[in-house]
Chain A
Amino acid sequence: MAKLDKASGECLKIVLKDFSIEHTITSLSKEIGNTRMGIWKTLKKLQADKLILLIPVGKGKTSTYLVRLNWENPLVEKTLIMLLTEEAQKYPRWLANFSELEGKADFLILYGSILHSPKDAGDIDLLGVVSNKKKFGEIRKIIEKIQITQIKKIHSVNFLEEELRDELISQKNPAFIEALKKGSILLGQEKFIKFVKNKLEKKYIG
């Protein structure tokens, strides 16, 4: 698997995590802060590597392109796992603090101001997904134990996959949409990707 440049990695992560809109060159350019020409070059390279699909809307040379992940290529999931794991490594403090939740939550997202300004953050926001309801109690106990050592309030919200899907798709809960888009997937990157692929992406297909 070839090492991706920063812009390519950012494009892939945004298309994965920000499922609330269909991404185009313009939207990615706005999110990443690169020129449209720069993004276009990045996307053409990702297309050549079969990591994304560029789907034209309308006819003609100037048509808009929708950017979608090419799930048919098994390297897409592997590349995304690597990108999300790399991103989580930027937060060793929180990885260490919440390592006990490994194996309890299918995936765990750390989001909010704790990521970019930990000193000023009022609390520690966590969003977790579990495979069965029994895990809610186990997670709560672990969080309570961690809370004893932390001055900031840990605000942990946990869902079953279907419940989170409902919050995101039916309720369009802006806080959780933002959590997915801007948060860091601390644990369970592989399961998070499968969740997006199987539970969220399908709403665009067909």
Chain B
Amino acid sequence: MDKNEVSDCFRSAIKDEEKGKKHKGLLFGKVNEEMAKSYLAKAKLNIQLCELYMKNGFDYMIPEAWYYTLYYCALAILLKFGITSRSQRCTAIFLRYAKEKGLIEYEDEFIDRITVHRGKEEKSDVDKREEARYGPLIRIEDVPLQYNSMTSMCKRAIEQCEEIVFSDKEFNVPKELFSE
């Protein structure tokens, strides 16, 4: 992970804020434990929704609930660093950087799945969520087939996110991200 890519997420957010625009990056502020716990609770609610959707035949809602389980876990982890995100792309970029620096123990798969790819040929759960949400299908063949493995994966993400959110450890953003 190129540190400049992570730094750009912070820089662009500051620039946008200075111009009075809604930023599309990462803002560094105070660690917010309570908000981190709230995002974790929201992640759990989404995995509970999956079960509800599955029982009631709302297949097309499930990829979105899987995605948001992972995404809310990601936002919870960022808040332990004092970071708020308004960019899906930057959320995954920072998590990958934190993982590579050994700052968090979080499986690559959870980060890969929420990674925004710019190229048409590369896909992640971001694209699956969009297809399920905006596409015309009510039934998605893959969903029942993937249900157990995806649900287990989401639960693993929740477990690892809980370890981070309820940890006493201080999670500091490395200074190298703010140096010119």
Q: Does B172 contact A (CB under 8 A)?
A: no
A63-B51 Cα distance, complex, nearest whole Å = 64
A31-B103 Cα distance, complex, nearest whole Å = 36
Q: Are B159 and A92 in contact (CB under 8 A)?
A: no
Q: How many residues of B contact A (CB 8 A)?
A: 14
Q: Does A41 contact B (CB under 8 A)?
A: no
Q: Are A151 and B37 in contact (CB under 8 A)?
A: no
> A151 with B156: in contact, given A93-B162, A96-B37, A118-B163 (CB under 8 Å)?
yes
Q: Which of B37, B158, B163, B165 contacts A149 (CB 8 A)?
A: B158
> Which residues of chain B from 121 to 160 have any CB-CB distance to chain A below 8 Å in the complex?
152, 155-156, 158-159
Q: B159 to chain A: which residues have CB within 8 Å? A: 150-152
Q: Does B166 contact A (CB under 8 A)?
A: yes
Q: B47 to chain A: which residues have CB within 8 Å? A: 148-149
Q: B163 to chain A: which residues have CB within 8 Å? A: 93, 118-119
Among residues of A, the one whose C-beta sits closest to the C-beta of B153 is A151
Q: Does B48 contact A (CB under 8 A)?
A: yes
> A149 with B152: in contact, given A96-B166, A118-B163, A119-B163 (CB under 8 Å)?
no
Q: Which of A96, A119, A151 contacts B158 (CB 8 A)?
A: A151
A92-B33 Cα distance, complex, nearest whole Å = 12
0/1 string, B13-27, CB within 8 A of A gives 1 = 000000000000000
Q: Are A149 and B44 in contact (CB under 8 A)?
A: yes
Q: A148 to chain B: which residues have CB within 8 Å? A: 44, 47-48, 51
Q: Does A145 contact B (CB under 8 A)?
A: yes
A97-B44 Cα distance, complex, nearest whole Å = 10
Q: Say how far A98's CB is from chain B's closest CB, in angstroms.
A: 13
A: contact size bracket: 10 to 19
Q: Are B158 and A150 in contact (CB under 8 A)?
A: yes
Q: B152 to chain A: which residues have CB within 8 Å? A: 151
A148-B158 Cα distance, complex, nearest whole Å = 11
A119-B75 Cα distance, complex, nearest whole Å = 22
Q: Say how far A88's CB is from chain B's closest CB, in angstroms.
A: 13
Q: Are B155 and A92 in contact (CB under 8 A)?
A: no
A92-B163 Cα distance, complex, nearest whole Å = 10
Q: A150 to chain B: which residues have CB within 8 Å? A: 155, 158-159
Q: Are B166 and A151 in contact (CB under 8 A)?
A: no
Q: Say how far A186's CB is from chain B's closest CB, in angstroms.
A: 14
Among residues of B, the one whose C-beta sits closest to the C-beta of A148 is B48
Q: Are A145 and B48 in contact (CB under 8 A)?
A: yes
Q: A118 to chain B: which residues have CB within 8 Å? A: 163
Q: B156 to chain A: which residues have CB within 8 Å? A: 151
A150-B162 Cα distance, complex, nearest whole Å = 10
Q: B165 to chain A: which residues have CB within 8 Å? A: 93
Among residues of B, the one whose C-beta sits closest to the C-beta of A94 is B166
Q: Are B166 and A92 in contact (CB under 8 A)?
A: yes
Q: A92 to chain B: which residues have CB within 8 Å? A: 166
A156-B158 Cα distance, complex, nearest whole Å = 20
Q: List 20 A-B contacts (CB under 8 A).
A: A92-B166, A93-B162, A93-B165, A96-B37, A96-B166, A118-B163, A145-B48, A148-B44, A148-B47, A148-B48, A148-B51, A149-B48, A149-B155, A149-B158, A150-B155, A150-B158, A151-B152, A151-B156, A151-B159, A152-B159
18 A-B pairs besides A93-B163, A96-B166, A149-B48 with CB distance below 8 A are A92-B166, A93-B162, A93-B165, A93-B166, A97-B162, A118-B163, A145-B48, A148-B44, A148-B48, A148-B51, A149-B44, A149-B158, A150-B155, A150-B158, A150-B159, A151-B155, A151-B159, A152-B159
